[in-house]
Structure 1
Amino acid sequence: MEEKKQTVEMTVEEKQEYEAFKATQAEKKAKEQAKRNREAYKELVDETIESVIPDLRLMSESLKAVKQGVLNDFRRVIEMKSEVLKLKKDGQRSDTFTNSAGDKRITVGVYTTDGYRDTVEDGIAIVKEYIEGLASDEKTKALVKMVLRLLARDAKGTLKASRVVQLRKIAEETGSERFMEGVQIIEEAYQPAISKQFIRAEVKNENGAWVCIPLGMTEA
């Protein structure tokens, strides 16, 4: 059945009103569609999150259990290492074990963050007092700036242990007992905090290079 087309005569004013009406309707429909799209997007986000969270929780628990098992196994290995090799390293933060074939190795250890007891301030004061008293010429002024940079704290307000090592070297080179005293007080105040334990597993590839086995979400 053929559709009959009808011609409607409009004045210029009526045509302008009709075009404005169509534009308003089109804009209204576009806004409604955009709203429906946003609602559909939010629903998709909610559905996807709900569907993946259980898997991620399960994976997290499995990884946690495996990590604890590996740490427990190697705790016994580390104890035997101390007994057999007669080694005791109080400051050691990691141990690496390689298999007999030399193509697999495991490293277990702890990450630490630098920290100091309150007495560190006394050591810093002694070092600053000594070093600032040297600023007599360009050479000693450069040394003062270098040492003060080493005593600068990070964003968390903590001295970096690696900088204290550099500080000791400078103190030893100067031969000043007062300088060394300040550095020693800083070193004795060092009290690192353990942040978390880690496990690193590596195998050799066909080229003989060590390659890490990805154990984290960001590595896989």
Structure 2
Amino acid sequence: MSNIKNLTPEEKEELRRQFMEEEKQKGERTKQERKNYKTLVNTTIPVLFKDLMAVSANLSAVKKKVFDELKTLVSLKAELYDAELDQFSHSFTTEDGITIIIGHRYNDGWDDTVNVGIEKVEKFVSSMGKDANSKALVKTILQLLAKDKTGVLKASRVIQLKKLADDTGNQDFIDAIEIIQSAHRPVKTKEFVTVRYIDNDGNKVDLPLDISAADFEPTIKQDATPPEEPRS
């Protein structure tokens, strides 16, 4: 290619025109490719959605069947083994190691009066001495009073706080924990089904019933950098 400095004004103008035309064509090509991409999304996703809807409906139907058919076994177990009918879960295992567990769980929940109890505990803590024993007790109390990463106070820790309060004999502390305990409003989760079996190597294996837990060989490269932990 000739040195641009040696081009005539007409040649420079022609070169500029060619460049602009190429850029225009490139922009139009990109625009069309993006349009084609959106068309592909609009044709691919609905098909997959129907497949996933079918899987979801089938899971719901099988889940209902499992609970309906095991209802009889739950009643029989209660009758024959003097077991409680109101258990949170029921487990059934065959001789060859297939286990099906059905039931529900409870998540911790609290009414607004829990904050009154927490404030009373904090007031008690602030009134404690500064000696080594007091500092150790304060640290333990605050650790047990801390909410988890979802912002929920754990009932299991409140039980430990109750024991600590009883050990101190401090009525204000005891009253604060009783307020917290009275504010407990556990929330029932959805019914679950868990299945385990023994594989050919003798290992206990969980049968994946959640699509996220299903094993497969991914064909999409996923090498994105994991997000950093949130910082305060």
Shorter-chain TM-score range: 0.7 to 0.9
Amino acid at match of 1:97: F
TM-score (ref. length: structure 2): 0.78
TM-score (ref. length: structure 1): 0.82
The counterpart of 2:31, out of the listed 35, 39, 44, is 35
Question: In structure 2, how many angstroms separate the alpha carbons of the residues matched to 1:29 and 1:89?
Answer: 73
Partner of 2:169: 176
Moved over 6 A (4+): none
Choose 153-162 or 104-113, whichever is displaced more. Answer: 153-162
Question: In structure 1, how many angstroms separate the alpha carbons of the residues matched to 2:205 and 2:119?
Answer: 46
> Is 1:57 matched up with 2:53?
yes
Partner of 1:5: none
Question: In structure 2, how many angstroms separate the alpha carbons of the residues matched to 1:151 and 1:180?
Answer: 14
The counterpart of 1:94, out of the listed 89, 99, 104, is 89
The counterpart of 1:66, out of the listed 48, 51, 62, is 62
The counterpart of 2:121, out of the listed 124, 127, 152, is 127
Question: In structure 2, how many angstroms separate the alpha carbons of the residues matched to 1:162 and 1:81?
Answer: 29
Amino acid at match of 1:124: I
**Aligned positions of 1:146-185 closer than 5 A:** 146-154=140-148, 157-171=151-165, 174-176=167-169, 178=171, 179-185=173-179
Q: 1:117 to 1:170 in 2, by over 3 A?
A: same
Question: In structure 1, how many angstroms separate the alpha carbons of the residues matched to 2:85 and 2:128?
Answer: 39
Contact 2:74 2:85 survives alignment (8 Å)? no
Choose 16-25 or 151-160, whichever is displaced more. Answer: 151-160
Contact 1:135 1:144 survives alignment (8 Å)? no
Amino acid at match of 1:94: S
Amino acid at match of 2:12: Q
Deviation at 1:124, TM superposition (A): 3.2
Deviation at 1:180, TM superposition (A): 4.2
Amino acid at match of 1:100: E
Q: 1:164 to 1:11 in 2, by over 3 A?
A: closer
Q: 1:155 to 1:207 in 2, by over 3 A?
A: closer
Deviation at 1:204, TM superposition (A): 0.8
The counterpart of 2:191, out of the listed 169, 192, 197, is 197
> Is 1:219 matched up with 2:219?
no
Deviation at 1:60, TM superposition (A): 1.0
What's the C-alpha RMSD, in Å, of the aligned pairs?
2.5
Contact 2:197 2:206 survives alignment (8 Å)? yes
Deviation at 1:62, TM superposition (A): 1.0
Q: Which runs of 5+ in 2 are unaligned?
A: 1-5, 215-232
Q: Which runs of 5+ in 1 are unaligned?
A: 1-9
Choose 61-70 or 106-115, whichever is displaced more. Answer: 106-115
Question: In structure 1, how many angstroms separate the alpha carbons of the residues matched to 2:162 and 2:80?
Answer: 35
